[in-house]
């Protein structure tokens, strides 16, 4: 799973670029599950979702990059979580735990 790709940074645009993995976690019985990395880029959503019926949703992208020695670093995950939780509070949605960042 340690695959590297040479990117032409000057030609990157704003169109969709499929990534190898994405993180998914579910809220159930008053808490978030442990979540997991998945390879599937399809989103499954309930027809009763508040995102569809009331526009209640929030999204916060987390940036990751590889260092010269090959390690993967996350760019300010603590600030990412704070922004996400700020959106969650405004929308009266469950917050994500920040203590493990």
Does 21 reside within a domain? no
The residue segments making up the domain with residue 69 are: 60-101
pTM for the model stands at 0.54
Does 72 reside within a domain? yes
Q: Which pLDDT score is estimated for 29? A: 93
Does 89 reside within a domain? yes
Q: How many domains does the chain have?
A: 1
Residue pLDDT tens, the chain, 101 long? 566 777 787 887 888 888 888 888 888 999 989 999 999 998 888 888 877 887 788 888 888 888 889 888 999 999 999 999 999 999 888 898 887 66
Separation of CA 64 from chain center: 11
Token pair of 72, please?
């993967």
Half-sphere exposure of residue 47, counting CA atoms within 13 Å on the CB side?
Answer: 0
């Amino acid at each position: 799973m340690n695959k590297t790709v040479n990117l032409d940074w000057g030609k990157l645009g704003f169109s969709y670029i499929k990534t190898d993995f994405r993180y998914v976690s579910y809220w159930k019985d008053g808490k978030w599950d442990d979540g997991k990395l998945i390879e599937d880029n399809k989103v499954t959503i309930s027809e009763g979702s508040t995102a569809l019926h009331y526009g209640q949703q929030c999204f916060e992208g987390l940036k990751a990059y590889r260092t010269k020695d090959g390690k993967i670093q996350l760019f300010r995950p603590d600030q990412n979580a704070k922004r996400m939780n700020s959106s969650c509070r405004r929308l009266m949605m469950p917050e994500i735990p920040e203590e493990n960042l």
